[in-house]
Structure 1
Amino acid sequence: MSGKLRRFGPPLLLISPSLLLIGVFIYGLMGQNLWMSMTDNHSAAQANGRKPISFVGLENYIELFGTEAFRHSMANLLLFTAAFLIGAMVMGFLWAWLLERPLPGGRFFQTVYLFPMAISFVASGVVWRWLLNSNQGDKASGLNRLFQMVGLDFLQNPWWNNITFGILAIALPAIWQLSGYVMALFLAGFRGVPDELREAARMDGATELQMYRLVIFPQLTPVVMSALVIIAHMSLKSFDLIMSISKPANYQTKVPAVDMFLFKSSYDYANSAAVGTILLAVVAVLIVPYLINQYRESRR
């Protein structure tokens, strides 16, 4: 016993402050949030301790999914995530594919494509709010005004004010801002493929398309998985960009993160915590399998 204590004691002592902080401020608060989501804490009086709080189990979750407004928010989240993922992955891959080969000014374009990532979602949201202005005709501005000036009036639309697909307009600035990051990941993946593999493929008579499809693309699987997880994770918790463009929160652009904020603003802490727990569960469904796969890969 004393031997094990001497062996494992100092390392455990070294990491114990971090374990304590993680246990209290991450898992402890997650547990507190889960408990709050199962109470009837829906008013300021209960939040301030003037009325008792009772345990109601899964009642808040059942009521949330039973409302059309929250189902609409979840549908918006799925649309936003799908558009964000596909757009950022396609644009990032195309930019990386073009910049992989030596081009004049390649470094300049890499910097230009990466620059949006350095801007906060709030700052870019203010600019995109003007670009995606829904006014048309004589009052048109932003992109609608541009379409009007170049004779493409048929492309004018209400953007994020569209009651059915308004959330897809919010995906445009998100794609613009994160495509450069995906480009950097793919570019690193392209340049990580050994030149010997490319030369061997060419010597075997493979065309450029065959070389990419059979040699290079299989090498990019870890990059694709990392990009998918990161983009999906960011889309699920999107709040600042949406609120910056469509503030005050509109029905057509509502997502669960916005619902969580609105519930909290009205002292409905129970429903706010329930929405947060639902988002955590969705993120876990995406992240945990990826982490398990990474762990298995590292053990081989």
Structure 2
Amino acid sequence: MSARTEADFQTRLQNWLPKLVLSPSLAMVLIFVYGFILFTVYVSFTDSRILPFVNNDGQRTLELIGFSNYEKLFSLSHWEISLWNMATFAGLYIGICTCLGLGLAIFLDQKIRAEGALRTIYLYPMALSFIVTGTAWKWFLDPGIGLENVMQSWGWTSFEFDWIKNRDYAIYTVVLAAVWQTSGFVMAMFLAGLRGIDNEILKAAQMDGASNWNLYRRIIIPQLRPAFLSAFVILSHLAIKTFDLVIALTGGGPGRATELPATFMYSYTFSRNQMGIGASSAVIMLMTIAAIMIPYLYAELREKK
């Protein structure tokens, strides 16, 4: 084999080797992610109730019934409750995380001592799974063993904090746990944005007599638009698909006070044996996420071009 032929072979091998290595993973993603997404969409238009796809008459079938499952879905009071809970949870979760993350980022950007230690402390909750977070907060908020019991044992006998058992306030316990876990991650995003601002612009504004308030209001915060947009997209995605945190913290209760679309989908698919309705709720969630992600990705690609 000549030196030129050997060089051509090595070049072709270098070009094809990454593709060969990645092809099994790519095939798995295509089948088990996008393939099952398409299959879920298909099931949402059938009369299937339970595996192996049995209909109301007990026959094994996947007969197409059009948009009947979607009509049934939006006529269910349980689905309406889950949507209202989602609106409350997502609004508070995104708003509080954004404000708290921005505040912590501004605080750490002041070149304070032990910045590295504080940054690690703020980010640490994100390293935990939502199951661990939900279980820990369930113990902390339980009136029998948590905060209320501790405060009363210290002599504050009139202290009450039973939100986790109260239908009117249970959804706010989910917000508390979610904010505790995610706000540090949002802080890191804003801190990266703050560190990327040109110091020359800030120095010029200070030389012109701009106060710190005007500096942040007119120069710094407007330049954090990409960080705000990224935080909104990520937090919205996490809010829509929130499942394990609710299951570990409240189980969707008391009653249906903390039921979200993800827990609704799980209960109707695996507990109530209504696979078609469960699939249709999953498709609605997917469409909501896509409505957020696609404009964001389009804007990012257009900006790069």
TM-score range, shorter chain: 0.7 to 0.9
Which AA in structure 2 matches 1:79? T
Aligned counterpart for 1:222 among listed residues 222, 226, 229: 226
Within the candidate set 22, 26, 35, 1:28 is matched to: 35
State which of 77, 96, 102 in structure 2 corresponds to 1:93: 102
Paired amino acid for 2:138: R
Mapped partners of 1:150, 1:240: distance in 2: 35
Moved more, 221-230 or 239-248: 239-248
Gaps of 5+ in 2: 1-14
2:141 and 2:161 in contact (8 A); partners too: no
Residue 112 of structure 1 corresponds to which residue in structure 2? 121
Match of 2:89 in 1: 80
Q: Separation in 1 of the partners of 2:41 and 2:69?
A: 11
For 1:203-222, list aligned pairs within 5 A: 203-222=207-226
Q: In structure 2, what residue type is equivalent to 1:276?
A: A
Alignment partner, residue 8 of structure 2: none
Say whether residues 1:39 and 2:43 are aligned partners. no
User: Does the Cα contact within 8 Å between 2:72 and 2:277 map onto a contact in 1?
Assistant: no
Equivalent residue in structure 1 for 2:248, among 244, 247, 250: 244
Q: State the distance in 2 between where 1:257 and 1:186 align.
A: 29
| Deviations, residues 161-193 of structure 1 (Å, cap 9, x unaligned) | 322342121110100000100111111111111
Greater fraction helix: 1
Q: Determine the structure 1 residue equivalent to 2:296.
A: 290
> What residue identity is the alignment partner of 1:209?
W
Within 5 Å, give how 1:250-289 maps onto structure 2.
Answer: 250-266=255-271, 267-289=273-295
- The answer to which of 163-172 and 191-200 deviates more is 163-172
Deviates more, 1:178-187 or 1:158-167: 158-167
Q: Classify the secondary structure of the residue corresponding to 1:252.
A: coil
Q: 1:118-177 deviations in whole A, cap 9, x for unaligned?
A: 1111111111011122x3xxxx432223554474946x2431332234212111010000
Identical-pair percentage: 33
Q: Which residue in 2 is equivalent to 1:131?
A: 140
Q: For residue 47 of structure 1, report the CA deviation from its aligned partner.
A: 4.2
- 1:121 aligns to what? 130
Aligned length: 283
- Secondary structure in 2 matching 1:66: coil
2:175 maps to 1:171 = yes
State the secondary structure of the residue aligned to 2:73. helix
Q: What are the ranges of 5 or more consecutive residues in structure 1 without an aligned counterpart?
A: 1-9
Cα shift at 1:248: 6.8
**SS of residue matched to 2:74:** helix
Residue 264 of structure 1: CA displacement?
A: 2.3
Give the secondary structure class of the aligned counterpart of 2:257: helix
Distance in 1 (alpha carbons) for counterparts of 2:137 and 2:79: 26
Q: C-alpha displacement at 1:86, in angstroms? A: 1.0
Go from structure 1 to structure 2 and tell me whether the alpha carbon gap of 1:193 and 1:44 turns closer, same or farther (over 3 Å shift): closer
CA distance in 1: counterparts of 2:277 and 2:286, whole angstroms: 14
Q: Alpha carbons of 1:152 and 1:222: their partners in 2 closer, same or farther (altered >3 Å)? A: farther
Cα distance in 2 for residues equivalent to 1:280 and 1:131: 33
1:57 aligns with 2:66: yes
State how far apart, in whole Å, the 1-side matches of 2:282 and 2:270 are.
14
* Letter aligned with residue 77 of structure 2: E
Assess if the C-alpha contact under 8 Å between 2:252 and 2:259 holds in 1: no
**What SS does structure 2 have at the residue aligned with 1:253?**
coil
| Structure 1 stretch displaced more, 287-296 or 236-245 | 287-296
Assess if the C-alpha contact under 8 Å between 1:160 and 1:253 holds in 2.
no
How far apart, in 2, do the equivalents of 1:74 and 1:85 lie?
16
Q: Deviations over 1:79-126 (max 9, x none)?
A: 111111011111111111111111122221111111111111111111
- The CA deviation at 1:44 is 5.0
